[in-house]
Amino acid sequence: MAIHLVLPVVASAMKTAIAVLGIGKLAIIPFLFASIAYFHYDQFDPENRILDVKQLLPSYDFIVVGAGSAGSVVANRLTENPNWNVLLIEAGGHENEITDVPILSLYLHKSKVDWGYKTEPQNTACQAMIEKRCSWTRGKVLGGSSVLNTMLYVRGNKRDFDHWVEQGNPGWSYEEVLPYFKKSEDQRNPYLARNTKYHATGGYQTVQDSPYNTPLAQRSFKQPKKWDTTSGISTERSKQDSPSTSSQ
């Protein structure tokens, strides 16, 4: 490995160890060194890294603002037409070695990859916060908020979509958007994939259970039955009342 590739990885390992564990537990650096070296794609696989456009065209057929979960998909779909020029712009920068580790996403809140939004003052929430305003973490980075959400996959609630229609937005009911959720999904859990009314396979978005769940997670699934509510397997079904363990 060339020295100019080693040094950034060592620096990254130390930065991550200090940020997550504090200065007193640097013994974990060898482990982080190996992990970061493996995931440090911008150094070890520059050909597959997303590159900034150095020179813009005089005009574009489409300009997509925001390279987050939605913007990236929209831009990708538009480029399927070879006759269209598409520009995707993003205010943030590239991901880094920490953003590639889902469990570290909480340490990225209020960082340079977070817009740092605050909610409006709340009457029934955020009561312990300054001015009763909660932080609203949104990603300012390539990948958007998907970089900060621990790779959880949860669809919006059916009632929210139906409420949009009631407010005068035709075409946005849950039943009307459900085919698009299914089209994008590649459901890898057999117990969900067989429910073809709400799930599908073969899409761009791979969804599967986390390979490891704590015993506490299993107890969470059983708890709703004790509360005498209808317990569902998936939060993406008609009754969204069970915890989510799916990851992207």
pLDDT at 34 over 60: no
Under the banding of pLDDT at 50, 70 and 90, the label for residue 167 is very high
Token couple for 32: 């982080």
Domain ranges of the chain: 1-49, 158-247
- Answer for the pair 208, 188: CB distance below 8 angstroms, yes or no: yes
pLDDT at 230 over 50: no
Under the banding of pLDDT at 50, 70 and 90, the label for residue 239 is low
Tell me the per-residue pLDDT of 85-127, one tens digit each, with 9 for 90 and over. 999 999 998 887 778 788 788 888 889 999 999 999 999 999 9
Give the least confident one: 71-75, 108-112, 205-209, 210-214.
210-214
Looking at residue 27, its pLDDT comes to 55
Tell me the per-residue pLDDT of 181-205, one tens digit each, with 9 for 90 and over. 999 999 999 999 999 999 999 998 8
Please state, for a pLDDT cut of 70, what percent of the chain lies above it. 67
Range 191-200 contact pairs with CB under 8 angstroms and sequence separation of 24 or more: 191/233, 192/233, 192/234, 192/236, 195/234, 195/237, 198/234, 198/236, 198/237, 198/238, 199/234, 199/236
- Name the DSSP letter for residue 6: H
Tell me the per-residue pLDDT of 49-62, one tens digit each, with 9 for 90 and over. 677 778 899 999 99
Average pLDDT, the chain: 79
Under the banding of pLDDT at 50, 70 and 90, the label for residue 136 is very high
Q: Where are the alpha helices (DSSP H) in the chain?
A: 3-21, 29-39, 41-44, 69-78, 158-166, 174-184, 190-193, 215-226
> Stretch 143-171: mean pLDDT, rounded?
92
